[in-house]
């Protein structure tokens, strides 16, 4: 096993690898039906009060899907959070809640508690920035609609609905409240439950085994249609990269998109229950093909890596190694047909199941919000370099990469997007330890100039990185050296280091 952390710089003795990148600008391969964003939860109450969250080595139920938000009345705190979200250029976000927040008792709705007001803060920002929202009910966590066998126990949170009629009415009431009464037009997609289909997850029958999801999808679709709500369902929300849908799953009539999560894709033969990046690219291609054949988009609605640690304050999910892998996965995913990406997660306490957060808002030692919110090193910049320089619903141009050494597991990979208003962005991730001398050629090019943006190992573990636009690279073609273990983006967008990233069109 090779750990990148042990190699803070590229290997000096290796001659740079010559790489040719050819981009066909004459016709797009496809148009993405989404963009690049991050998970953002509105849940503030620990999922189970009976669990000591800070027990060493324990992953709390619900993981890190709660906490670390400013108080809903903290205008200054939210302004700082949104400044970071603007810089990141997030344009497709999975926004998460639980049923307890809005329906603590059967058909008794609470629309003005602190958690709901946090939800409104997030959705207000998505409206201003033109961000598309995948609204995700993570779990119900209500005793009143848990199976009788699970009521009064911690396992109520894992229960599928005892009364499907009450479940669908409540979820329909939520979506109608947000979409019609509050006017949030950014909500485009809806998930019923997080990661169903596993005996450890949050859609279980009274026997503790995974319950079928299709009846819930059918019932919720019918309820949304009854209310005239044009919000599409997404499924299966499975964790891992299994083969495309096996026989016996009847979701197709009810859903508008397919989605998966992945946390085990690896570099260098590490392995973690999934596969290497190259194998993951093939599996993503299988799923996107399956979805696109049915005229539906395919989303990676959670991504990250658990390969370097996931307990307590473990920094593993946010180290440079993990962030580089995440960037590589996004570029490979664009190449293989993924329509939208959602990194786990925008805010996070970072002391529950590892440091997943893109922005540091939580003081571990004081167990409270920090006085200043800062970028989380590595993940903020490596993932953010891709999210801030890409626009939603961009065309994907055919991009060929030639010259990668066949005997090595790592490669230089590239993908090219063209925005709806014609801006070109070429994303390059050098997974190799060695530098690469890259030659880029674009057919049917114009006479514009591209700027260069980069995050290299010199930025490792820093929270003060300034990513300047440098150089002047002709659109028709150019040569450049791409350092090993780096992300480099060439774009016709010219963004100063503190400017907001590219997002969608604000709602009017």
* Parallel, antiparallel or unpaired: strands 449-455 and 470-474: antiparallel
Whole-number Å distance between alpha carbons of 358 and 88: 9
Please give the Cα distance from 489 to 471 (Å, whole number).
12
117 within 8 A of 160, measured Cβ to Cβ: no
Do residues 241 and 283 lie in contact, with contact meaning Cβ atoms separated by under 8 Å? yes
Question: Which residues lie across from 266 on neighbouring strands?
Answer: 276
Q: Quickly list DSSP for 183-203.
A: --TTEEEEESSSS-SSTTSS-
More confident residue, 394 or 250: 394
H or E segment and range at residue 128: helix 114-129
Phi/psi for 463 (5° steps) reads -110, 15
**SS3 category, 44:** coil
- The answer to whether residue 242 scores a pLDDT higher than 80 is yes
Model pTM score: 0.95
pLDDT in tens, 429-469: 999 999 999 999 999 878 899 999 999 999 999 999 999 99
Question: For the chain, what is the radius of gyration of the CA atoms?
Answer: 22
8 Å CB contact between 419 and 391 = yes
pLDDT digits (tens, 9 = 90+) for 335-373: 999 999 999 999 999 988 999 999 999 998 898 999 999
Please tell me the least confidently modeled range out of 110-114, 236-240, 378-382: 236-240
CA–CA separation, 171 vs 165, rounded Å?
10
Instruction: Enumerate residues 6+ apart whose C-beta is below 8 A from 476.
Output: 441, 442, 445, 446, 447
Q: What is the arithmetic mean of pLDDT over 383-388?
A: 98
**What is the distance between the alpha carbons of residues 115 and 128, in angstroms, rounded to a whole number?**
20
**Which pLDDT band holds residue 12 (cuts at 50, 70, 90)?**
low
- Calpha distance 401→23 (Å, rounded): 9
pLDDT (mean) for 195-209: 89
């Amino acid at each position: 096993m090779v750990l990148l952390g042990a190699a803070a710089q590229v290997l000096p003795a290796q001659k740079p690898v010559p790489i040719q990148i050819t981009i066909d600008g004459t016709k797009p391969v496809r148009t993405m039906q989404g963009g690049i964003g991050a998970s953002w939860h509105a849940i503030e109450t620990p999922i189970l009060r009976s669990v000591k969250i800070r027990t060493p080595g324990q992953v709390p139920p619900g993981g890190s899907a709660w906490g670390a938000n400013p108080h809903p009345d903290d205008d200054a705190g939210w302004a700082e959070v949104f400044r970071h979200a603007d810089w990141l250029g997030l344009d497709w976000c999975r926004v998460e809640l639980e049923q307890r927040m809005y329906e603590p008792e059967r058909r008794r709705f609470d629309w003005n508690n602190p958690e709901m007001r946090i939800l409104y803060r997030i959705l207000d920002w998505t409206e201003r920035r033109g961000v598309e929202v995948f609204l995700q009910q993570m779990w119900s966590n209500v005793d009143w609609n848990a199976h009788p066998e699970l009521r009064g126990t911690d396992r109520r949170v894992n229960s599928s609905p005892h009364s499907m009629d009450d479940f669908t009415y409540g979820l329909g009431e939520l979506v109608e409240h947000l979409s019609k009464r509050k006017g949030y037009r950014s909500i485009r997609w809806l998930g019923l439950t997080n990661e169903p289909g596993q005996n450890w997850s949050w859609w279980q029958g009274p026997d503790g085994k995974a319950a079928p999801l299709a009846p819930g999808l059918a019932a919720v679709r019918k309820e949304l249609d009854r209310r005239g709500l044009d919000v599409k369902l997404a499924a299966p929300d499975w964790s891992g990269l299994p083969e495309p849908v096996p026989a016996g799953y009847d979701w197709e009539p009810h859903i508008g998109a397919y989605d998966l999560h992945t946390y085990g894709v690896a570099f260098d033969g590490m392995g973690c229950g999934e596969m290497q990046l190259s194998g993951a690219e093939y599996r993503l291609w299988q799923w996107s093909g399956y979805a696109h054949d049915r005229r539906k988009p395919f989303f990676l609605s959670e991504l990250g890596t658990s390969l370097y640690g996931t307990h307590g304050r473990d920094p593993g999910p946010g180290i440079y190694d993990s962030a580089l892998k995440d960037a590589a996965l996004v570029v490979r995913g664009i190449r293989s047909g993924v329509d939208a990406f959602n990194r786990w997660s925008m805010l996070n306490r970072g002391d529950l199941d590892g440091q997943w957060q893109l922005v540091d808002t939580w003081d571990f030692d004081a167990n409270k919000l920090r006085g200043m919110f800062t970028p989380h090193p590595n993940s903020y910049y490596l993932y953010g370099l891709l999210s801030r320089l890409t626009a939603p619903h961009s065309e994907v141009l055919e991009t060929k990469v030639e010259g990668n050494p066949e005997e090595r597991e790592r490669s230089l990979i590239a993908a090219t997007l063209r925005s709806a208003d014609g801006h070109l962005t070429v994303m390059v991730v050098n997974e190799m330890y060695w530098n690469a001398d890259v030659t880029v050629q674009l057919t049917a090019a114009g006479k514009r100039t591209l700027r260069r943006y980069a995050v290299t190992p010199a930025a490792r573990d820093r929270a003060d990185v300034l990513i300047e636009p440098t150089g002047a690279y002709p659109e028709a073609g150019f040569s450049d050296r791409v350092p090993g273990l780096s992300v480099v983006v060439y774009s016709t967008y010219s963004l100063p280091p503190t400017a907001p990233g590219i997002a969608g069109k604000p709602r009017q």
